[in-house]
Amino acid sequence: MTQEKWPVKLPDYRLDGKVAIVTGGTKGIGYAIAMMFAAFGATVVVSSRHQAECDSVAEQINRLGGTAAGIAADVGRPAEVKRLIRETVQRLGDLNILVNCAGVAITKPILEMDEGDYDRVMDANLRGVFFASKEAAAAMVERKHGGRIIQIASIGALKGTNQISTYCASKAAVLSLTKTMALEWSRYGITTTALCPGYVKTEINAAQFQDEEFLAKTLKGIPQRRLGTADEVAAIALFLASDYSSMITGSAIVADMGATSQ
């Protein structure tokens, strides 16, 4: 399909020449996003807390013909986030896309949560998003070429869910933060969007979904009667990272098989 004969601009989701950081990029949705971006031409920085895991995923991308590097960072520590952004720009010369996918969920009733539980979730899910986005935006502003910042939130931001109170609260805060970032950074050509997946089966929750009773109860609340896949979420992230999403900023994109429609 060629552009010349069509009277509309046809989308091309290639990310050639773009440098993208994916936090939480060694597992689950983050891993799928890192692979998807690399397959479409981006140079991907794979980040998580453990350097060996970052290197392993980066090496896999390079073997497949993509381009990647691993840089470990604990997103709950602002100094490490700052180092991640600085090292990315120093090593690769630019930063065009940030995907904040690193996150933590602790499953406990509110009455059993303690301060340590609260801090662990909020540090990863909110503090990490705030400071990673801030540092990435500063790098993008300095280079005067705009950019894309994508927050991986959750439908937990839109509705209460038993026993993951701090997770839901942190993701709801991310949605509000995304709107404010859009107000402040649109003038620099930076878009900020939040992607809210519903239930997605990954290696992290695979054992949970092997429980037939739990799976049946979960599916009953999903109109499509199925779980999502990390690949589907990564495909949406690819669109949000592309030049064809430039009209979208400050928005929450919900991909939940209809779960929040009820």
How high is the pLDDT of residue 204? 77
Instruction: Determine the average pLDDT of the residues in 223-251.
Output: 97
Higher pLDDT, 119 or 204: 119
How high is the pLDDT of residue 70? 98
Share the mean pLDDT of the chain: 96
Q: How many CA atoms lie within 13 A of 66 on its CB side?
A: 27
Q: Is the pLDDT confidence value at 39 over 80?
A: yes
Instruction: Determine the average pLDDT of the residues in 2-21.
Output: 92
The DSSP bridge partners found for residue 255 are: 197
pLDDT band at 224 (very low <50, low <70, confident <90, very high): very high
244 catalytic per annotation: no
Rounded to whole angstroms, the Cα distance separating 166 from 144 reads 36
Exposure b/e, 52-84, CB count within 10 A at least 16 = b: ebbbebbebbeeeebebbbbbbbbbbbebbbeb
Report phi then psi at 47, rounded to 5.
-130, 140
- The set of residues, in sequence order, having a beta carbon less than 8 Å from that of 25 and lying 6+ positions away, is 31, 33, 34, 44, 45, 46, 47, 48, 54, 57, 99, 101
Which pair of structure tokens corresponds to residue 31? 């891993």
Cα dihedral 156, 171, 32, 13, rounded to 10, equals 110
How high is the pLDDT of residue 228? 96
Rounded to whole angstroms, the Cα distance separating 25 from 190 reads 22
How high is the pLDDT of residue 63? 98
Q: How many CA atoms lie within 13 A of 18 on its CB side?
A: 27
Catalytic one of 13, 31, 118, 167? 167
How high is the pLDDT of residue 1? 67
How many helices (H) and strands (E) in the chain? 9, 7
How high is the pLDDT of residue 205? 82
Instruction: Determine the average pLDDT of the residues in 202-226.
Output: 90
How high is the pLDDT of residue 17? 97
Write the pLDDT tens digit of every residue in 54-108: 999 999 999 999 999 999 999 999 999 999 999 999 999 999 999 999 999 999 9
Write the pLDDT tens digit of every residue in 158-208: 998 889 999 999 999 999 999 999 999 999 999 999 999 999 988 878 888
Higher pLDDT, 155 or 9: 155
Whole-structure pTM value:
0.96
- The answer to whether the CB of 100 falls within 8 A of the CB of 124 is no
Determine what percent of the chain is predicted with pLDDT higher than 90.
90
How high is the pLDDT of residue 262? 79
